[in-house]
């Protein structure tokens, strides 16, 4: 058995982290594994040397010649690797796989990594997903977003938790609220800064530490300045050891408008951080957080509710300790080994 992951690039992000964890686990088990990037050459996460990495070229920018060269490369690769099992972690990549394997035997599993309702090309997606023998979604809510014919092929598999996640912090926590995520509209850092502005009126000695980069960085920094928070809202950019940096923070906040399952949220829970998350589609936070037990869920786009939850954790050490102790139990529930087993089971059913 050979597994080939198909992804635009491995530049960093939730999908890419999951791929790297699964690929490393597969080769550890003696399964031949490759990652085929079709729009870049980057590699943000550590890979076992036994994982084959290949690139079909750079991002096309809409250039048809680049796309044709990509398809030729992919067709040659799949011809040389007949019988491989393809794990497509990309909507566009799924289309490229189908086109590059025309008139060839194809074993393809598709993994949907976002809220399906946020897709701007549903007709394209639904057409090409029909060529997969299995669709993997992160939640049952995500499954219901697809046409009935595709739902019949679907199964639900959560995200693996990196075994290298630091152990829970023990001691007095810093007066810091932390978050990790791309500075893009989906993550809604604007909401977090608005909520922090409300929160800081009662807790002026706290900082908001934001880890990640993206197109909205300038806009978000300007918002912090407008709120008079430029000394309290700290933008750290991309940080390879962000987990180590935030583990002693008072809380972790996820303010997204939609998510699959947030890796950074899972990792914060595994590190025993009190976690607050918007209860956003497709229910990924809800599958991991039991409100008031191992974390707090708040309505989407509600700065007042988010600020109130942050205040609740800050002023109630007993609640913070309860959330911390219960959250860390997720370490044994989302192991790479368990999630790898689920993916292999889904793949074998299609063979």
Q: Name the band, by pLDDT with cuts 50, 70 and 90, for residue 260.
A: confident
Asked if residue 350 has pLDDT above 60, the reply is no
Across 258-282, average pLDDT? 95
The answer to whether residue 258 is domain-embedded is: yes
Question: In this structure, are 9 and 94 located in the same domain?
Answer: yes
Question: In this structure, are 99 and 146 located in the same domain?
Answer: yes
Q: What is the CATH number of the domain that holds 154?
A: 3.40.50.2000
| Model-wide pTM > 0.85 | yes
Model confidence pLDDT, tens digit, residues 226-257? 999 999 999 999 888 999 999 999 999 999 99
The Cβ of residue 46 has, within 10 Å, a number of other Cβ atoms equal to: 11
What DSSP letter does each residue of 68-119 carry, written as one string? HHHHHHHHHHHHHTTTPEEEE--HHHHHHHHHHTTTS--EEEEE--S-GGG-
Across 16-45, average pLDDT? 95
**Both tokens assigned to 263:** 């890796």
Are residues 70 and 47 in contact, defined by beta-carbon separation less than 8 angstroms? no
Asked if residue 52 has pLDDT above 60, the reply is yes
The answer to whether residue 121 is domain-embedded is: yes
Question: In this structure, are 183 and 262 located in the same domain?
Answer: yes
pLDDT at 137: 96
Asked if residue 351 has pLDDT above 50, the reply is no
CA 255/CA 248 separation, integer angstroms: 20
Q: Name the band, by pLDDT with cuts 50, 70 and 90, for residue 196.
A: very high
Average pLDDT, the chain: 95
Question: In this structure, are 244 and 341 located in the same domain?
Answer: no
Across 51-55, average pLDDT? 97
Question: In this structure, are 232 and 310 located in the same domain?
Answer: yes
Are residues 177 and 246 in contact, defined by beta-carbon separation less than 8 angstroms? no
Across 147-167, average pLDDT? 94
Question: In this structure, are 253 and 323 located in the same domain?
Answer: yes
The answer to whether residue 118 is domain-embedded is: yes
The Cβ of residue 261 has, within 10 Å, a number of other Cβ atoms equal to: 22
pLDDT at 7: 97
Question: In this structure, are 148 and 239 located in the same domain?
Answer: no
Across 132-141, average pLDDT? 95
Question: In this structure, are 183 and 96 located in the same domain?
Answer: no
The answer to whether residue 153 is domain-embedded is: yes
CA 75/CA 97 separation, integer angstroms: 8
The answer to whether residue 59 is domain-embedded is: yes
CA 2/CA 238 separation, integer angstroms: 33
Task: Determine the distance from the C-alpha atom of residue 155 to the mean position of all C-alpha atoms in its chain, rounded to a whole number.
Answer: 18
Question: In this structure, are 100 and 187 located in the same domain?
Answer: no
Question: In this structure, are 288 and 219 located in the same domain?
Answer: yes
CA 230/CA 343 separation, integer angstroms: 45
pLDDT at 349: 56
Asked if residue 335 has pLDDT above 80, the reply is yes
At 341, is the secondary structure helix, strand, or coil? Answer: helix
Number of domains in the chain: 2
Closest CA to 251 of 193, 314, 294, 199: 314
Across 269-275, average pLDDT? 97
The answer to whether residue 107 is domain-embedded is: yes
In the DSSP assignment, the letter for residue 238 is S
Domain, as residue range, for 248 = 174-332
Question: In this structure, are 198 and 246 located in the same domain?
Answer: yes
Question: In this structure, are 22 and 110 located in the same domain?
Answer: yes
Are residues 132 and 94 in contact, defined by beta-carbon separation less than 8 angstroms? yes
The answer to whether residue 87 is domain-embedded is: yes
**Both tokens assigned to 326:** 């219960």
The answer to whether residue 166 is domain-embedded is: no
**Both tokens assigned to 113:** 């990594």
Angle between helices 64-80 and 91-100 (to 10 degrees): 60
- Residue 255 burial class via C-beta count within 10 angstroms: exposed 0-12, middle 13-18, buried 19 and up: buried
């Amino acid at each position: 058995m050979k597994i080939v992951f198909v992804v635009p690039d491995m530049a960093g992000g939730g999908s890419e982290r999951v791929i790297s964890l699964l690929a490393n686990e597969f080769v550890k088990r003696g399964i031949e594994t490759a990652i085929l990037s079709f729009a870049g050459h980057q590699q943000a996460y550590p890979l076992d040397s036994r994982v084959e990495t290949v690139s079909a070229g750079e991002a096309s920018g809409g250039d048809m010649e680049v796309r044709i060269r990509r398809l030729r490369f992919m067709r040659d690769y799949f011809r040389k690797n007949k019988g491989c099992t393809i794990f497509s972690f990309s909507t566009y990549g799924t289309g490229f796989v189908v086109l590059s394997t025309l008139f060839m035997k194809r074993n393809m599993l598709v993994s949907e990594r976002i809220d399906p309702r946020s897709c701007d090309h549903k007709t394209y997606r639904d057409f090409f997903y029909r060529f997969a023998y299995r669709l993997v979604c992160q939640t049952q809510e995500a499954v219901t977003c697809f046409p009935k014919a595709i739902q019949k092929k679907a199964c639900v598999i959560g995200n693996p938790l990196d075994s290298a996640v630091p152990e829970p912090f023990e001691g007095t926590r810093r007066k810091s609220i932390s978050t990790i995520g791309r500075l893009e509209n989906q993550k809604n850092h604007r909401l977090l800064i608005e909520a922090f502005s409300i929160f800081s009126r009662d807790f002026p000695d706290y900082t908001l530490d934001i880890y990640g980069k993206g197109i909205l960085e300038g806009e978000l920094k300007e918002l912090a300045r407008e709120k008079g928070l430029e000394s309290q809202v700290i933008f750290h950019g991309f940080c390879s050891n962000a987990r180590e940096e935030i583990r002693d923070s008072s809380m972790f906040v996820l303010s997204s408008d939609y998510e699959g399952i947030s890796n950074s949220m899972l990792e914060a829970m595994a590190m025993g951080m009190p976690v607050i998350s918007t209860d956003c589609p497709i229910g990924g936070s809800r599958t991991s957080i039991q409100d008031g037990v191992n974390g707090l869920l708040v309505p989407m786009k509600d700065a007042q509710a988010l600020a109130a939850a942050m205040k609740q954790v800050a002023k109630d050490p007993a609640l913070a300790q309860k959330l911390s102790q219960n959250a860390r139990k997720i370490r044994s529930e989302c192991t790479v080994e368990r999630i790898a087993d689920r993916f292999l089971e889904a793949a074998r059913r299609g063979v």
